Amino acid sequence: MTSTRPLLLKNARLVDPASGREEHGGVLVSDGLIADVGHHVIAATDAEVIDCAGQVLAPGLIDMRAFIGEPGAAHRETLKSAGEAAAAGGVTTIVSMPDTNPVLDDPAIIDFVMRRARDTSIVNVRPAAALTKGLKGEEMAEIGLLREAGAVAFTDGARSVTNAQVMRRALTYARDFDALIVHHVEDPDLVAQGVMNEGEFAARLGLPGIPREAETVMLERDIRLVRLTGGRYHAAMISCADSVEIVKAAKERGLPITCGVSINNLALNENDIGEYRTFFKLSPPLRHEDDRLAMIEAIADGIVDVIVSDHNPQDVETKRLPFAEAADGAVGLETLLSAGLRLVHAGSISLPKLLRALSTRPAEILGLPAGRLTRGAPADLIVFDPEAPYVLDKRSLRSQSKNTPFEDARLEGQVTKTIVAGRMVFDRSLS
What is the longest distance spanned by two Cα atoms in the chain? 67
Q: Are 62 and 408 in contact (CB under 8 A)?
A: no
Backbone dihedral region of 47: left (phi > 0), alpha (psi from -120 to 50 degrees) or beta? beta
- Kindly give, in sequence order, each residue whose CB lies less than 8 Å from that of residue 30, ignoring residues fewer than 6 positions away: 6, 7, 422
What does the alpha-carbon distance between residue 147 and residue 145 come to, in Å, rounded to a whole number? 5
Pick the closest to residue 128 from 65, 219, 73, 60 (CA basis): 65
Pick the closest to residue 174 from 127, 102, 225 (CA basis): 225
Q: Is 163 helix (H, G, I), strand (E, B) or coil?
A: coil
For residue 301, indicate whether it is catalytic: no
Q: Are 359 and 370 in contact (CB under 8 A)?
A: yes
What are the residues facing 308 on neighbouring strands?
262
Question: What separation in angstroms does the CA of 205 have from each of 105, 267, 271, 275, 277?
Answer: 40, 22, 11, 8, 11
Residue type, 297: E
Question: What separation in angstroms does the CA of 170 have from each of 47, 69, 228?
Answer: 49, 26, 12
Pick the closest to residue 358 from 264, 428, 265, 263 (CA basis): 263
Q: Which of 105, 106, 305, 310 is catalytic?
A: 310
What does the alpha-carbon distance between residue 214 and residue 217 come to, in Å, rounded to a whole number? 6
CA angle 6, 27, 336 (to 5 degrees): 110
200: how many CB neighbours lie within 10 A of its CB? 11
- Kindly give, in sequence order, each residue whose CB lies less than 8 Å from that of residue 165, ignoring residues fewer than 6 positions away: none
**Length of the chain, please?**
431
Query: What residues act catalytically?
Result: 310
